[in-house]
A and B are shown apart, each in its own frame.
Chain A
Amino acid sequence: DAGITQSPRYKITETGRQVTLMCHQTWSHSYMFWYRQDLGHGLRLIYYSAAADITDKGEVPDGYVVSRSKTENFPLTLESATRSQTSVYFCASSEYREQYFGPGTRLTVT
């Protein structure tokens, strides 16, 4: 089915472990984004990408790494997970204006 998907939908990991969240879109949108959502903070931008091999930091990039070797994929890696990274992570894509959000990944770091 066309759209934007995220995997896994739920993940529990331990402090210090590396974890990668996947995002895939089938629209060939140029722009892709990663946000995290926490109670009391709303949605905050982690990283964004304007095209394959072009990425840039958002508001809260520390502790995260992204790559975009293909237009349709935009994985987010937590290099050494910390409890403060427990959150719901949303990937989004856009071609021009409106952003389309994936279903989210709920990550718990113990």
Chain B
Amino acid sequence: QQPVQSPQAVILREGEDAVINCSSSKALYSVHWYRQKHGEAPVFLMILLKGGEQKGHDKISASFNEKKQQSSLYLTASQLSYSGTYFCGTGSEVGGADGLTFGKGTHLIIQP
């Protein structure tokens, strides 16, 4: 079953923070986050595994709550380059070796 992302869309000013949520009705082994700019391929951001770990690079981080079957992506002090559509993908095996089930995406627009 497809994970549910919220919000569907968000518009921010440069420098503001954003949170994108991803929830699933199925038990999760891993959550993958991707960003896609218009007309381009999705690009991998990070993967979170069971254990509630939080990962991040630069000003983008994410958490994974295994019990609640949820993950959240945090974008701090957003930059214009952060604009795009963010997808979470859930895997039934570690690493998503049998493919990912993606949410419908969250459209993020960063304005100057």
Contact = CB atoms under 8 A, between A and B. Distances in A.
Contacts of B94: 97
A90 B2 CA distance: 18
Contacts, number: 56
Given A96-B95, A101-B41, A103-B41, A45 B47 contact: no
A45 B100 CA distance: 7
Contacts of A98: 32, 44, 47
Interface residues of A, number: 25
Interface residues of B, number: 23
Interface stretch (B13-21, B61-69, B71-79, B102-110): B102-110
Given A31-B97, A33-B99, A97-B95, A43 B44 contact: no
Taking each of B97, B99, B100, B105, which has the highest tally of chain A beta carbons within 10 Å of its own beta carbon? B99
Contacts of A42: 2, 87, 102-105
